[in-house]
Amino acid sequence: MRPSWDEYYMEMAEVAKKRSTCNRRQVGAVIVKDQRILASGYNGAPSGLPHCSETGCIRQKLNVPSGERHELCRGLHAEQNAIIQAALHGVPIEGSAIYVTHKPCVICTKMMINAGIKKLIYQGDYPDSLSEEMLKEAGILVEKYTKDKES
């Protein structure tokens, strides 16, 4: 059976997350507009730098709870990498949708707002109430992905 668009793009985000080098949570993201994939990303260290899988996790060492102190991390988030890849290659993403394997943190949310992303489809939850509040304020359409849902 042919997958729905939502299923197709979320499966692509799941594939992207397999490249993640984060020791705590693997995340993938795919930016889509007009049924075309514009960019993808996964969480990991900046290009050319050692990954957390090699150096160890700063956040684990300091017992930083999930959803807090995002600046204490070597890695970029999947959403950040997807937005950066689009910018690096001159791909406009204004008015697009982003499919993410986990709900975004507030930093990624702010980047999505300023990048002009209009819709977020996410699968797993993430503990960041400020992110939820800002998504609402910005008028970004937010949907939790369920495999049974067709689009």
pLDDT in tens, the chain (151 residues): 899 999 999 999 999 999 999 988 999 999 999 999 999 999 999 999 999 889 999 999 999 988 888 888 999 999 999 999 999 999 999 999 999 999 999 999 999 999 999 999 999 998 889 999 999 999 999 999 998 655 4
131 occurs within a structural domain = yes
Which CATH number do you get for residue 69?
3.40.140.10
Task: Report d(CA 79, CA 60) in Å as an integer.
Answer: 22
Q: Is 52 annotated as a binding residue?
A: no
Q: Any idea of the CA torsion for 31, 25, 107, 85, to the nearest 10 degrees?
A: -40
149 occurs within a structural domain = no
Residue 39: both structure tokens together: 């960019």
pTM reported for the whole predicted model: 0.93
How many domains does the structure of the chain reveal?
A: 1
What is the 8-class DSSP label of residue 63?
A: T
Residues β-bridged to residue 29: 41, 100
pLDDT of residue 149: 57
76 occurs within a structural domain = yes
Can you give the residue range of the structural domain that contains 77? 5-144
Residue 21: both structure tokens together: 């080098």
The neighbour count for residue 123, using CB atoms within 10 Å, is 18
CB contact set of 88 (below 8 Å; sequence gap of 6+): none
Q: Is 105 annotated as a binding residue?
A: yes
Hey, which residues are catalytic here?
A: 79
Where does residue 110 rank: exposed (0-12), middle (13-18), buried (19+ CB within 10 A)?
middle
129 occurs within a structural domain = yes
23 occurs within a structural domain = yes
Q: Is 57 annotated as a binding residue?
A: no
